[in-house]
Amino acid sequence: MRTARLTLATAGIPFVVLAVAYVLRTAWAGRLPDTIVSHWGTGGPDRGTALTSMTAWTLGLGAAAAVVATVTALVMRHRGAFVPRTAIGFAAWLATLPAGVLIASMWATLDVASWQQARSAWGAVTLAIGLSVAAGALATLLTGPTPRAAIPEPRDLPSAGLAPGERAVWIGAGTNYPMAFAGIGVIGLFLVLQLSLDDLDVMPHALILIVAVLALAATCRVRARVDATGVTLTLGLFRFPHRTLTFDEIASAHVEQMSVWSAGGYGLRRGFGYTAFKVRAGEALAVTLTSGHVVKATVDDAERAAGLVNDLVAAERP
Amino acid sequence: MLIRIDPASTAALFEQVAASVRRALAAGDLAPGQQLPPAREVATSLDINVHTVLRAYGVLRDEGLIELRRRRGAVVTGAADTRARLNTLAGELADEARRVGVDLDELTEIVKEKFA
């Protein structure tokens, strides 16, 4: 039942909206110019696109987005991962937005001689956004309540063996050393090139260098602290972004192995049901929230960190 | 690194902090060159005075387990893992001697005999 609902929400609703857009395009064919408005500036319509081309692009994009969302949601469900209904609603909104844009552009150019005489942008934007938001909301409702993730039994969870009355803090980090040293390597390479090539312009290359080094510095290290206030995670040498999880929102913690490809890469990653502070492959602290969302951080000695989280969660609960 | 204290224990808080670091060194959780967490952060998390943590770090420095550097803070020394293990074993030996009623002089003699 849940799979059918997921499919209906991620594919059914977007494809119905895409079909409605195509039916309207066919029905309004005699009342539309060959080129319809596709953009408005401050002075009114400032760009038009051929109706055929706009129909193909918007419906193609919408269909592709719906297929990707459906496949992703079903694969996640097949793997037993948690698929939040807000994400399904967002996917349906995204997949129906191109159809909404097509319908709005056609409506704005309906019964006028050319796209320059199109109606105001406000009506078209309201129509496009309103239609897609309504589709997203319908998909959210259709998906039904998000099931809570099964909270592991206390006996299965790691523990740091914290005794009643004891206080503890765990502070740890995970560092991607190749990434950290790559930053130094990039600076070295730049200096070598700068000294050896006379005609090398400084500015454009220096800007690229700064961006590359800042990007590496921002994602080469993740740091975590577990204490009585909760779990605090920070990314990179600038310790930004950071996230603090309080114990009233934490259900449990465990250790998870992350591959190079899991979560889709390095840095702060967000996916269906998880947020990952990932700087390397390997062991990660995985904190399951009461909402079912899992926050992961690729820190060393994650077992001990997870153990302390579970002990402190148990101490917080009556 | 896990640092734990028991406010109800008879052992001084700084000793408990130092013992946590020794345990981490003996278990290989801390490698030479690795930094210990800033004293202020540890103190805030454990709700104790920062001077208590600094005193613990001072004890560990005197034992040769860490170095206190102006900019890098407390850094684990190269010989720390060996010394930490010796410290842990010596602590266990002293505890066992007390349990079986062997005094310090007698224990020292035993160690001297074994060392010779």
Structure tokens at B36: 């210990």
Verify whether the Cβ–Cβ distance A165 to B41 is below 8 Å.
no
Do A122 and A229 lie in one domain? The reply is no
Quick check: B2 and A228 CB within 8 A?
A: no
- The secondary structure of residue A164, as a DSSP letter, is T
Could you tell me which chain B residue has the CA closest to the CA of A309? B2
In chain B, the residue whose alpha carbon lies closest to the alpha carbon of A232 is B45
The reply to whether A187 and A303 lie within a common domain is: no
**B-chain residue closest to A230, CA distance:** B45
For residues A118 and A209, state if they share a domain: no
Residues from chain B contacting residue A164 (CB–CB below 8 Å): none
Residue A133 binned pLDDT confidence (cut-offs 50, 70, 90):
very high
Residue A228's Cβ-side half-sphere holds a number of Cα atoms within 13 Å equal to: 17
Contacts of A291 (CB under 8 A, 6+ apart): A146, A148, A249
Q: Are residues A215 and A225 in the same domain?
A: no
A175 bridge partner residues: A221
Task: Looking at the complex, report in whole angstroms how far the Cα of residue A148 sits from the nearest Cα belonging to chain B.
Answer: 31
Q: Is B40 on the interface with A (CB under 8 A)?
A: no
* Nearest partner of A236 among A257, A215, A250, judged by Cα: A215
B45 with A229: Cβ contact below 8 A: yes
Q: For helices A51-78 and A85-109, give the axis angle rounded to 10 degrees.
A: 170
The tokens 């037993």 sit on which residue? A80
Alpha-carbon span B22 to B2, nearest angstrom: 11
Chain center to CA of A177 = 26
Domain boundaries, chain B: 13-87
pLDDT digits (tens, 9 = 90+) for B59-102: 999 988 899 988 778 999 877 667 777 777 888 898 899 989 99
Give the HSE-up count for residue A190: Cα atoms under 13 Å, Cβ half-sphere.
19
Domain B13-87, CATH = 1.10.10.10
Buried b or exposed e, range B79-107, using 16+ CB within 10 angstroms: ebbebbeebbeeeeeeeebeeeebeeeee
User: Which of residues 152 through 191 in chain A touch B, CB cutoff 8 A?
Assistant: 160, 162-163, 165-172
pLDDT tens, A18-30? 999 999 999 998 8
User: In 10 A of CB A303, how many CB atoms?
Assistant: 16
Instruction: Looking at the structure, tell me whether residues A74 and A196 fall in a common domain.
Output: no
For residue A158, give how far its alpha carbon lies from the nearest alpha carbon of chain B (Å).
14
Q: Between chains, do A308 and B42 touch, taking CB under 8 Å as contact?
A: no
Per residue, the 3-state secondary structure of chain B, as one string, reads CEEEECCCCCCCHHHHHHHHHHHHHHCCCCCCCCECCCHHHHHHHHCCCHHHHHHHHHHHHHCCCEEEECCCEEEECCCHHHHHHHHHHHHHHHHHHHHHCCCHHHHHHHHHHHHC
Residues in chain B, total: 116
- Closest C-alpha among A95, A71, A94 to residue A83: A71
Tokens representing A122 are 């406000």
According to the model, what pLDDT value does residue A200 have?
Answer: 62
**pLDDT tens digits, residue range A269-305?**
988 789 999 999 899 999 999 988 999 999 999 999 9
d(CA A44, CA A226): 56
Are residues A118 and A259 part of one domain? no
| A191 and A132 share one domain | no
Contacts of B46 in chain A (CB under 8 A): 167-169, 227
Task: Give the residue from chain A lying closest to B38, CA to CA.
Answer: A171
A125 contact B CB<8A? no
Cα of B99 to nearest chain A Cα, Å: 24
Q: Are residues A109 and A233 in the same domain?
A: no
Same domain, A129 and A231: no
Q: How many domains does chain A have?
A: 3
ipTM for this prediction: 0.77
- Order across the sheet with B2-5: list the strands: A242-245, A230-235, A221-227, A167-175, B2-5
Alpha helices in chain A (DSSP H): 2-7, 13-27, 51-78, 85-109, 121-143, 177-196, 202-219, 302-316
The range of the structural domain enclosing residue A272 comes to: 148-174+220-318
Q: Say yes or no: A153 and A289 in one domain.
A: yes
Per the listing, tokens 């399904």 go with A88
By Cβ distance, the residue of A167, A171, A304 closest to B5 is A167
Confidence of residue A235 (pLDDT cuts 50, 70, 90): very high
Choose from B23, B44, B45 for mutation: most chain A CBs within 10 A. Answer: B45
Q: What percent of chain A has pLDDT over 70?
A: 92
Q: Which of A169, A242, A310 to mutate to test the interface with B (most CBs of B within 10 A)?
A: A169
User: Measured between beta carbons, which residues in chain A are less than 8 angstroms from residue B6?
Assistant: 163, 165-167
A29-A30-A32 Cα angle (round to 5): 65
Beta-carbon separation of B3 and A168 below 8 A: yes
pLDDT in tens, A31-79: 999 999 988 888 888 888 999 999 999 999 999 999 998 988 888 777 6
Task: Please give the pLDDT value at position B80.
Answer: 66
Going by DSSP bridges, is the β-strand pair A274-278/A294-297 parallel, antiparallel, or unpaired? parallel
B90 min Cα distance to partner chain A (Å): 24
Is A171–B7 a contact, with Cβ atoms under 8 angstroms apart? no
Residue pLDDT, tens place only, A74-126: 887 776 666 778 888 899 999 999 999 999 999 999 999 898 988 888 899 99
Partner residue opposite A166 with nearest CB, options B1, B6, B42: B6
Report pLDDT for A221. Answer: 93
pLDDT at site A253: 95
Q: Do B7 and A228 touch (CB under 8 A)?
A: no
Give me the phi and psi of A142, to 5 degrees please. -65, -35
CB contact under 8 A, A168 and B6: no
Is there a single domain that holds both residue A196 and residue A317? no
Q: Are A152 and A263 within one domain?
A: yes
